[in-house]
Each structure stands twice: as structure tokens, then as C-alpha cells.
Structure 1
Amino acid sequence: MSLGSIFDIAGSGMTAQSLRLNTTASNIANAETASSSTEHTYRARKPVFAAIQQELLNPAASKTGFASDSGTGAGVRVEGVVESTAELQMRYQPEHPAANEDGYVFYPNVNVVEEMADMMSASRSFQMNVEIMNTAKSMMQRILTLGQQ
């Protein structure tokens, strides 16, 4: 693996964690939205990630023979965003404007505590990828100054 591919790997990680932060923020924003039916109720969403193989991330490296380990993970991609299948919250609130004929209101299956923990984890992962990029940049700058002495 070359020093240059570190930027591709960390960049793919930053993109994935950015999507994770966005879906978590959407879940938290919709945590208390009410609906009169299960069909119209917001459901928590989670991104699904998969490892990218080195050959897919940098096809030129595999053609030139510089791809070191065939089959090793070299980044992450988003496979999609799935909705949670957890049960919706049903509350008896006959005075609520969105109550159905039985007086029940449906709320999303969003656990705000879990979402906050997920948001902190995604934020830390994003920060780590930024640190990796900064370290790689610093290493490349030091390599350029080796010949100047």
C-alpha cells in the first residue's frame, strides 16, 4: 500500500461517517414526530457499510503491480440505508390532533440515547480519519525535505 492510497482510504471513511452522522441527525430530528397510522410513521434509518477491496479503490495500482496484498480491505463504501424493523411506539393520547379513531398516536422507533451514542461514535471516527490524513500529509512533506539537507 502506497502512502498516497491512505488519502483514498481515509476519504472513504470520512464520507461514510458523514452519511452516518446525517442519518443519525435525521433520526433524532424525527424522534417525536407523531402519526395516526403505522404506514405514515417515521422509522429509524441506519446506513450499511462494506469494505472496498484494494483493486476496486485504485485499479491502476493493481495493473502496475503495486497493490501489495490482494483481497485486503482498502476503504469503505455505503451499501445503502435501511429502515429499522423495531416496533413503533403507540401512545394513548385521544386529545392529540394526530390520534386515530381509537385515540392512539404512533411515534417513531427512535431511541434517542442510542442515537446520541452513535453520533458520538461517528464523530470520533470522522475525527480519526482527519488525523490520519493530516499525519500522512505531514509525512509526505517531511519526505520532500529529506533531499534538501
Structure 2
Amino acid sequence: MSIFDKPLSVLDISASGLTAERVKMGAIASNIANAQVTETSDGGPYKRKEVEFATVLSKSLIGGRNQKMRLNGVKIKGITESKQPPNMVHIPGHPQADKNGYVSMPNVSVAKEMVDMIAASRSYEANTSVIASFRKMGERALNIIRR
């Protein structure tokens, strides 16, 4: 069995990866944009959004009754709020400061978000490279057939 047994699966897998990483980058951008928000409509500081991925598996028949699981991409399992407590920062003059001068700040580390953004963008680039390579392979195969 080769990747050409179901050629669109290569594109489907890469497309699902592109979609998943785009959603993750959106959540990261939201986290960075709200890193200083101390009061939300729900009350309390902004809570970091986390994107969870899950693999998509499919059964394929190989040689009769033998069923094997094949990776068929990735999907968004969910976007959840972090369970980590807010960061307590000493800012005595802040309007949301408690009696000791501490403010509940979002549990967002901009440095960690930037590292996650770099990893997500590299994964996105890798998936676009797979799609481009697959397209070039198809074009070369068509050129061979045309000769």
C-alpha cells in the first residue's frame, strides 16, 4: 500500500493540520491580546485559552479481513480555558487591587505564547510544504504520462 492508494488522504491530512494550526494561532493571538485584561464580562481576569487536538483514525481493509487503523488527520477536540490560577501582581494603585495591593492578572505568559506561536507557524509551514510537494509530484506524473 502506498500513499497513492488514496491520494486525497495526503491532502486531507495536511488540510486538517492547516485548519487545526490556524485555530491554535487564533487562540494564541487572543491570549496575547488579552494578557493585561483584569476584568472580563464573566468577572475576574481573562483566562488563557488552550486548544486540544485529537487524531482522526479510519479503518482500512488490507488483504481481506485484516483491519488496520490509518491516520486520517487531526481535528480540534476542544478549546478550553486554562485551570491555572491567575497571576497575583502587586500594583497598589490599580482599581482592581485587593486590600494588600495585589491584582489578579490573566494567567498568560507572553513568552510562552510566542514560543507556541512559532511552533504552530512552523507546523503550518510544514503542512503547506507537504501540499506543494504533493502537487509537484502529481504534475511530474502527468508530464511522464503525456510523453
User: Shorter-chain TM-score category?
Assistant: 0.7 to 0.9
Q: Structure 1 length normalisation: TM-score?
A: 0.82
In terms of fraction of residues, the more strand-rich structure is 2
The letter for the 2-side match of 1:93 is: I
Say yes or no: does 1:132 pair with 2:136: no
The letter for the 1-side match of 2:31 is: N
Report the Cα offset of residue 47 of structure 1. 0.5
What SS does structure 2 have at the residue aligned with 1:51?
Answer: strand
Correspondence 1:5-84 to 2 at 5 A: 5-35=9-39, 39-55=43-59, 70-84=68-82
With a CA cutoff of 8 Å and minimum separation of 6, indicate the structure with the bigger relative contact order: 1
Match among 84, 104, 107 for residue 105 of structure 2: 107
Report the CA distance shift for 1:121/1:134 in structure 2 as closer, same or farther (over 3 A).
Answer: same
What CA distance in whole angstroms lies between the structure 2 residues aligned with 1:106 and 1:15?
Answer: 33
What CA distance in whole angstroms lies between the structure 2 residues aligned with 1:133 and 1:69?
Answer: 28
Moved more, 120-129 or 108-117: 108-117
Aligned residues: 139
Among all aligned residue pairs of Structure 1 and Structure 2, give the percentage whose two residues are the same amino acid. Answer: 35
What CA distance in whole angstroms lies between the structure 1 residues aligned with 2:95 and 2:38?
Answer: 9
Alpha-carbon contact 1:35-1:99 (below 8 Å) kept: no
Report the Cα offset of residue 98 of structure 1. 2.8
Alpha-carbon contact 1:21-1:122 (below 8 Å) kept: yes
Q: Structure 2 length normalisation: TM-score?
A: 0.83
What CA distance in whole angstroms lies between the structure 2 residues aligned with 1:69 and 1:10?
Answer: 24
The letter for the 2-side match of 1:15 is: T
What SS does structure 1 have at the residue aligned with 2:7?
Answer: coil
Deviation per CA, 1:60-97, whole angstroms, max 9, x where unpaired? xx59x9xx973121100001012111121122323212
Structure 1: unaligned runs, 5 residues or longer: 56-61
What CA distance in whole angstroms lies between the structure 2 residues aligned with 1:134 and 1:111?
Answer: 35
What CA distance in whole angstroms lies between the structure 2 residues aligned with 1:18 and 1:40?
Answer: 28
Report the Cα offset of residue 24 of structure 1. 0.7
What SS does structure 1 have at the residue aligned with 2:68?
Answer: coil
Report the Cα offset of residue 131 of structure 1. 0.3
